[in-house]
Structure 1
Amino acid sequence: MTPSDVLEYAPPSIDAQARLLVLIDAFGTAGVEGRMKLAKLDFLLRYPDRFARLMADRAPDSDVGDDPWLTGAIEQGMIRYRYGPWDPAYYSLIGALIGKGLIKPHQKGPTATYTTTSQGKQVARGLATSTSWSAVRERALLLRRHFNLSGTTLKNLIYNTFPDIVEASWGTKL
């Protein structure tokens, strides 16, 4: 992917920031370890058909619910990148959330774990009580319950389940 490829993507929106904040908050004090794990969890949050497929395999008795907010409403698609689904906006999204004091990175070696700050928890919980965001919170909690795996394990699970992603060229929109 070249710098000009990145420029064709829209800048991160407030909705995208809110979605990541709700996702990170759902993982509690342990947070989300690494951008790869965050990207794979966000992929499952943004693509409800892919999420439903993995849930059917992993927890067939779980109810993923009807989610009209997410179904077909992907604000900006992800691309196939080196380690699977990726959004070039992650750097600015994460930076915006850190800059607003809503999340905090905890660096351990080369990997950062992202957790919500007390202000971030308050905003995320406020979002979760709204009609628009409650389904996102519920989906994020299901991700924590059933897919709280390492980034590499999630990547491999996605690759094994969705060969079309593996076969896609780098930079291809998913």
Structure 2
Amino acid sequence: MKLAKLDFLLRYPAHFNRLMAVRRPDVDAGEDPWLTGTIEQSMIRYKYGPWDPTYYALLGALTGKGLIEPKHEDAIATYCTTPAGREVARALAESESWRPVRDRAVLLRRYFNLTGTTLKNLIYETFPDIVEADWGTHL
């Protein structure tokens, strides 16, 4: 859940800016990491919130490539980067083309490093139109 909510805030800068204005109005949200304001796909409302249903396949691919490893604690699945994953992330973070994404990720970590449930509740309180949309609705 937490990964999905953080990804939502990363991929949809207008929603990030709105939530940032609520949570930390004194902090500059920085530039839009996607620059053009376009994203790869439109947001669709799903069961667990405004997130992409392909996370499980992506997490499996990252695990299979040795970039992350699953940790299961108390029936909660979490993932940690491996040394190889940290190297790839570091290389991306150092590249100029990924700088806006890195900067946004830094803000997400600094101001939204909450529990999954707390982050979900904050998003749901701020964006009731998303919560009230029927599943499968393009937003």
TM-score, normalised to structure 2, is: 0.92
Please give the alpha-carbon distance, in whole angstroms, between the structure 2 residues aligned to 1:113 and 1:168: 28
Contact 2:69 2:81 in 1 (8 A): yes
Structure 1 segments unaligned to the other structure (5+ residues): 1-35
Structure 1 residues 140 and 165: CA distance shift in structure 2, 3 A: same
**What is the aligned partner in structure 2 of residue 169 from structure 1?**
134
**What is the aligned partner in structure 1 of residue 104 from structure 2?**
139
Cα deviation per residue 1:98-146 (whole Å; 9 max; x = unaligned)? 1111111111022112111111011011011112211111111111111
Offset at 1:162?
Answer: 0.7
Contact 1:79 1:171 in 2 (8 A): yes
Structure 1 residues 84 and 70: CA distance shift in structure 2, 3 A: farther
- The one-letter code matched in structure 1 to 2:55 is Y
Is the counterpart of residue 104 in structure 1 residue 61 in structure 2? no
- The one-letter code matched in structure 2 to 1:48 is P
Percent identity, aligned pairs only?
72
- Shift >3 Å, 4+ stretches: none
RMSD (Å), alpha carbons = 1.4
Offset at 1:71?
Answer: 4.6
Contact 1:83 1:155 in 2 (8 A): no
Structure 2 segments unaligned to the other structure (5+ residues): none
Structure 1 residues 68 and 37: CA distance shift in structure 2, 3 A: closer
**What is the aligned partner in structure 1 of residue 40 from structure 2?**
75
Structure 1 residues 109 and 68: CA distance shift in structure 2, 3 A: closer
